[in-house]
Amino acid sequence: MKFLRNYSMYICLFIMMMGSSSLSAQTDAQSKKLIDNMMGVTGDYDKLRAKKDVQFDYVYDNFDAGKDVSKERLIFDGESSWASYSVHQRNVLPEQEGIAEQSLINGKPQLTLNGKFVTDEKALGATVFIREVNPFWFSMIYKLKDNGTNYKYMGSETVDGVAYDKVSLTYDGAVTKKEADDEYILYFNKKTHLLDLFYFSLPAFGVTKPILKMTISYQVIDGIYVPVSRKSYAPTPAGEYQLNGEYTFKNVKFGNGFRAEDFVLKGM
């Protein structure tokens, strides 16, 4: 189905709702303990911010539906971001050829294709979206305590021989200002305390229950837990889960000395 093949673009809605607000999340004691246990292992966003910035190669692969390949740069304080795409079949000017570059500085987007500025409003809107989405996937586990989030402990479950604690994540509509918010079930590994996988809904696309699946694999790089591989799955009519995308971070390097002004594009 086309939806099952293409839904991974819309998992980014998860990111857009989990911004970097300093306001406290609403949660029960058990859920708070699970999140605190995870951050006891990984550290919080202050630990990530202390690295100043990061550069990595990102392969966003939806298999037969196409892929994007980019070099990404992010400054943690203020979250200015930049990317250069050598392949862009999915989310960035997918119908056009050449090198695409994006930047987002203080909320202002820029986009070039083969060195020429792109001023189309839709393309610039997509630039804002992707420039916020891609960095968030990198730092997602460091930002679980955010404005508008509500958590409820759901008990334990064993998946593929691994024991997990489950937490339901919903959103305060008064904060998100959305007609319908997505819902998530987070799986925290009882042994490692890490978020290994989650299920989620997409009511905007007719998926009203959290039945879509994402798994995460980490690598510790310079003391930071980096989600170097994420895999997305959708259920088949038979109820089995089918892999439909893999998204990888490679060549991760922190502390490059980037400044926001370095991300200003120089186009024609």
How far is it, in rounded angstroms, from Cα 177 to Cα 185?
21
Element (H, E) at 200: strand 195-202
Does the structure show a pLDDT above 50 at 19? no
How far is it, in rounded angstroms, from Cα 12 to Cα 7?
10
Q: What is the 3-state secondary structure (H, E, C) of 65-130?
A: HCEEEEEEEEECCCCEEEEEEEEECCCCCCCCCCCEEEEEECCEEEEEECCEECCCHHHHHHHHHH
Q: What pLDDT, on a 0 to 100 scale, did the predictor assign at position 31?
A: 94
User: What count of Cα atoms within 13 Å lies in the side-chain half-sphere of residue 108?
Assistant: 7
3-state secondary structure of 255: coil
Cα 252 from chain centre = 16
Every domain of the chain and the residues it spans: 22-263
**pLDDT tens digits for range 51-86:** 999 999 999 999 999 999 999 999 999 999 999 999
**pLDDT tens digits for range 200-209:** 887 766 888 8
Does the structure show a pLDDT above 70 at 179? no
Query: Which of the four CATH numbers 3.40.630, 3.40.50, 2.170.220, 2.50.20 does domain 22-263 have?
Result: 2.50.20
Percent of the chain with pLDDT over 90: 70
Long-range contacts at 120-125 (CB < 8 A, ≥ 24 apart): 123/93
Provide the β-strand partners of residue 233: 213, 243
Residue 250 · residue 228 · CB < 8 Å: yes
pTM over 0.95: no
Q: Please name the residues in contact with 234: beta carbons below 8 A apart, sequence gap of 6 or more.
A: 3, 4, 7, 212, 213, 241, 242, 244
Q: What pLDDT, on a 0 to 100 scale, did the predictor assign at position 209?
A: 86
